[in-house]
Chain A
Amino acid sequence: MSSAAGRPGRLRLPTPYLLLIPSALTLAALFGWPMVQGVLAAFRHDGGFSLDNVHRMVSDQRFGSAVRNTLLLIAVVVPLQFVLALAMALLLQARPKFSGLYFYLWAVPLAISDLAAGLVWLSILDDQGYLNSVLHRLGLGDGYSWLSYQHGSTMFLAVVVAEVWRATALVLVILVAGMQVIPRDYDEAAAVFGATFWQRLRYVTLPLLKPSLQVALILRTILAFQTFAVARALTGDNYPLLVGETYQWYLDLQNPGVASAIALLILAISIFTASIYLRALRQPDAIREAR
């Protein structure tokens, strides 16, 4: 008896749809109309349909840099986080002493809001911050303006480091949990047959980690498109990001039209990248055989 069919004699909606209805209804009720409103605002100007907002968005002097910075940041930060999180997860798997403590400390940034994280890193990287203080005390010069608009590369690096610090915990937790499910027998067998660490990683661990990797990648990327509080705290207006521009147009400039246009652009890029991940890491998990 498969769990897919309902019991004979009870006429009702096919079970999957029944299970979906509560969440679908909630989303539709709460977000449905506001989303329609929000999205339509992008194409409305002076009461009628117009591409004015799109034009305004594109012709803004900060738009080009915002798009470039957003894509660059994501292209650098996300892979970096995955490599780091994977390394950390493997480290934990090797069960060194104090691994419980390490895991706790590494998971702590999970619960820190991005505003607080921005504050923390600002106190470190500011001109009179802790990093420069330490360098000064070590006699390594009078401190460097890491966050100055004149030093574009260190500005970018600062944002990368702060973002990696803040958001790797999410990926780490998902990967560690995913690793725990992988039966040890596979790994042991591979080791017995002479596979090196890298071979075991590539042929045994990573393929079995695919579902975790997929979920982590999608979640992390979508969230990465949404956060700008850290960049804002560190670099002010000197490192424009698409989401930052959305907030500015909506809240400071009180122009919902252009804000919605940018939001739609972000939406499009996010969905595009998410569907790539979905396709690339596809696993027919619903019909996967029991191991």
Chain B
Amino acid sequence: MHPPEASPYGPNPATLSRRDLLRLGIAAGVGAPLLTACGGFGDTGGGGDKLVFLSTQFAPVEEAERFRGILKSAYTAGSVDYVTSDPGPYNSKVRSEVRAGKVGTNLIGGVHGDLAPLARDGQLEDLGGLAQKLAGRGYAKDLLELAKVGTNTTYYIPWAQATFILAASNTALQYLPPGATIDNLTYDQFLAWAKAAKQAAGKPVFGVPAGPKGLIHRFLQGYLYPAFTGGEITKFRSPEAVTMWGYLKELWSVCTPASANFDFMQEPLAAKQVLVAWDHVARLVNAPKDAPDQFVMAPVPSGPKGRAYMPVLTGLAIPKGAPARDKTEQLIEALSTPDVQLDVLRKNAFFPTVQATIPSDLPAAVRLEADAVRKQQTGSGALIALPPVGLGTGEGELTKIYKDTFARIVLKNEAIAKVLADEGDRVQKLLADSKAPCWTPDPDSGGQTCQVG
């Protein structure tokens, strides 16, 4: 056996590798026990004073950093480790910890859609006592109802709220139809505006977030459906719904097709790919960041039945069996003061849930949004539409049904009536599985399962 030839790719490995591998082996062999002993380089910390706060909110790096700063100044009795996560792993973690009986997370935060399934499956503690204590802080009645997820027990404390509005580049304002003011549009005027803008620019310049993580389903559930039909579920297949879908198809034809890939509208807006967009306040706030005077934010248009809008609620909850419960409740209390919540508004563009007067020293982009939100909530014809309550794990599937309906009717041009009939059946099955009663804006069904109309 003659020695292996030198390879053109480098010195002969067979002679070098012994030494290198030996070194590697020694290093790893020494390192491994050390590593397993310390279990990791994370903040393992010493128990007692450190609380772990797992949340799906403020995931982007900058937002998380700013919130950590807020936490530090708000909670002085110890330190809090703020850990962000995607909803999927978040859900897995909480469930597996609770099921195994060894809960390491003290506090969890998420949108209603994250917390409601956990609540319905008994993974969260009853926070009724804490809610009583905080009763004087001025939470809106609707929010407190949501926090009960369709039962009589309070499962989370409202943390921050947001909603969806319109954002527009100043350059688009010139195409507004005559007589229309941006703060008081109707959906018809909105469509005319989109058409005029497309004609002038030579290509469609309106956009909606219809991408995989886009919130188009909220546009349907909380804006279009209630504004055109006055209901969410009970009017799913009604004639007014058919009108609404026809309208949406027309609107889509003057929106940029790239909308089917957009999750967040702030980037297309900043890049001038889109001049007018509808999206969540937190997904629009970065658009005017570099040039706030080039943008306007406005309340959404109103339809035949009113100016429907949907509040997005985030809440704070405690997993069942979590340790240090009293400390955690202190933390929740600290996060529920007007000052801290206004700080969150200033830094991360989420609105307070407790009673707090909006100050005047907000950053420009947040100021724009706050004004638009106020006009939307207090304007005439305001119609509130809540996110689904009481569906448990079916919440995600309802989202999918709305998105599928959108894809079939608007993207694939299937017959409206047939799609609504099919998907309506699916919605009914989902409701039957979870026995969920109707929620605002649908009329109260008195505890009976909501019926798809």
Touch between A and B in complex, CB under 8 Å? yes
- What is A's interface to B at a CB cutoff of 8 Å? 61-62, 95, 99-100, 103, 127-128, 145, 147-150, 180, 232, 235-238, 247-248, 250-255
Chain A CB within 8 A of B408 CB: yes
Query: Secondary structure of the A side of the interface?
Result: loop
Residue of A whose beta carbon sits closest to that of B91: A254
Q: How far is the CB of B326 from chain A (nearest CB, A)?
A: 31
Stretch at the interface among B3-11, B129-137, B288-296, B352-360: B3-11
User: Which among A95, A103, A238 has the highest number of chain B CB atoms within 10 Å?
Assistant: A238
- In the complex with contacts A100-B9, A236-B211, A145-B88 CB distance below 8 A: no
Chain A CB within 8 A of B22 CB: no
Residues of the A chain whose Cβ atoms lie less than 8 Å from the Cβ of B261? 147-149, 235-236, 238
Contact A149–B257 (Cβ < 8 Å): yes
Which one of B212, B258, B273, B393 contacts A237 once the chains associate, using CB atoms below 8 Å? Answer: B212
Contact B271–A128 (Cβ < 8 Å): yes
Q: How far is the CB of B249 from chain A (nearest CB, A)?
A: 15
Contact B257–A99 (Cβ < 8 Å): no
Contact A127–B212 (Cβ < 8 Å): no
Contact A148–B88 (Cβ < 8 Å): no
Contact B397–A237 (Cβ < 8 Å): no
- A selection of 18 A-B contacts at a CB cut-off of 8 Å is A61-B404, A61-B407, A95-B8, A103-B9, A148-B260, A148-B261, A180-B7, A236-B211, A236-B263, A237-B211, A237-B403, A238-B261, A247-B88, A251-B87, A251-B89, A251-B91, A253-B399, A255-B397
Which one of B7, B257, B395 contacts A145 once the chains associate, using CB atoms below 8 Å? Answer: B257
Residue of A whose beta carbon sits closest to that of B213: A236
Task: Contacts A149-B411, A252-B88 known; list 19 others, CB within 8 Å.
Answer: A61-B404, A95-B8, A100-B8, A100-B9, A127-B273, A147-B258, A148-B258, A148-B260, A150-B257, A180-B7, A236-B261, A236-B263, A251-B86, A251-B87, A252-B396, A252-B399, A253-B396, A255-B396, A255-B397
Residues of the B chain whose Cβ atoms lie less than 8 Å from the Cβ of A248? 400
Residue of B whose beta carbon sits closest to that of A253: B396
Contact B257–A148 (Cβ < 8 Å): yes
List residues 98-155 of chain B with CB under 8 A from any CB of chain A. 117
- In the complex with contacts A99-B8, A236-B261, A254-B117, A128-B273 CB distance below 8 A: yes
Residues of the B chain whose Cβ atoms lie less than 8 Å from the Cβ of A180? 7
Contact A149–B260 (Cβ < 8 Å): yes
CA distance A251 to B393 in the complex (A): 11
Interface string of B404-445 (1 = CB under 8 A from A): 100110010000000000000000000000000000000000
Residue of A whose beta carbon sits closest to that of B271: A128
CA distance A259 to B143 in the complex (A): 33
Residues of the A chain whose Cβ atoms lie less than 8 Å from the Cβ of B258? 127, 145, 147-148
Contact A253–B400 (Cβ < 8 Å): yes
Residues of the B chain whose Cβ atoms lie less than 8 Å from the Cβ of A145? 257-258
Contact A100–B10 (Cβ < 8 Å): yes
Q: How far is the CB of B295 from chain A (nearest CB, A)?
A: 19
Contact B9–A236 (Cβ < 8 Å): no
CA distance A238 to B9 in the complex (A): 43
Residues of the A chain whose Cβ atoms lie less than 8 Å from the Cβ of B257? 145, 148-150
Contact B400–A238 (Cβ < 8 Å): no
Contact B9–A232 (Cβ < 8 Å): no
Residues of the A chain whose Cβ atoms lie less than 8 Å from the Cβ of B395? 254
CA distance A251 to B403 in the complex (A): 16
List residues 265-281 of chain B with CB under 8 A from any CB of chain A. 271, 273
Interface string of B230-273 (1 = CB under 8 A from A): 00000000000000000000000000011011010000000101
Residues of the B chain whose Cβ atoms lie less than 8 Å from the Cβ of A255? 393, 396-397
User: Which among A62, A127, A147, A252 has the highest number of chain B CB atoms within 10 Å?
Assistant: A252
Q: How far is the CB of B201 from chain A (nearest CB, A)?
A: 12
Contact A250–B88 (Cβ < 8 Å): yes
- In the complex with contacts A148-B257, A236-B212, A253-B8 CB distance below 8 A: no
Which one of B8, B9, B88 contacts A251 once the chains associate, using CB atoms below 8 Å? Answer: B88
CA distance A99 to B9 in the complex (A): 7
Residues of the A chain whose Cβ atoms lie less than 8 Å from the Cβ of B411? 149
CA distance A251 to B407 in the complex (A): 21
Q: How far is the CB of B202 from chain A (nearest CB, A)?
A: 9
Residues of the B chain whose Cβ atoms lie less than 8 Å from the Cβ of A127? 258, 273
CA distance A170 to B322 in the complex (A): 45
Which one of A99, A236, A252 contacts B87 once the chains associate, using CB atoms below 8 Å? Answer: A252
CA distance A147 to B7 in the complex (A): 43
CA distance A99 to B8 in the complex (A): 8
User: Which among B7, B271, B400, B403 has the highest number of chain A CB atoms within 10 Å?
Assistant: B400
CA distance A35 to B7 in the complex (A): 44
CA distance A252 to B403 in the complex (A): 13
CA distance A145 to B395 in the complex (A): 33
CA distance A112 to B227 in the complex (A): 47
Residue of B whose beta carbon sits closest to that of A232: B212
Residue of B whose beta carbon sits closest to that of A101: B9
CA distance A255 to B395 in the complex (A): 11
Residues of the B chain whose Cβ atoms lie less than 8 Å from the Cβ of A148? 257-258, 260-261
Q: How far is the CB of A230 from chain B (nearest CB, A)?
A: 14
Residue of A whose beta carbon sits closest to that of B92: A251
Q: How far is the CB of B272 from chain A (nearest CB, A)?
A: 9
Q: How far is the CB of B168 from chain A (nearest CB, A)?
A: 19
CA distance A13 to B407 in the complex (A): 60
Residues of the B chain whose Cβ atoms lie less than 8 Å from the Cβ of A247? 88
CA distance A61 to B404 in the complex (A): 8
CA distance A103 to B7 in the complex (A): 12
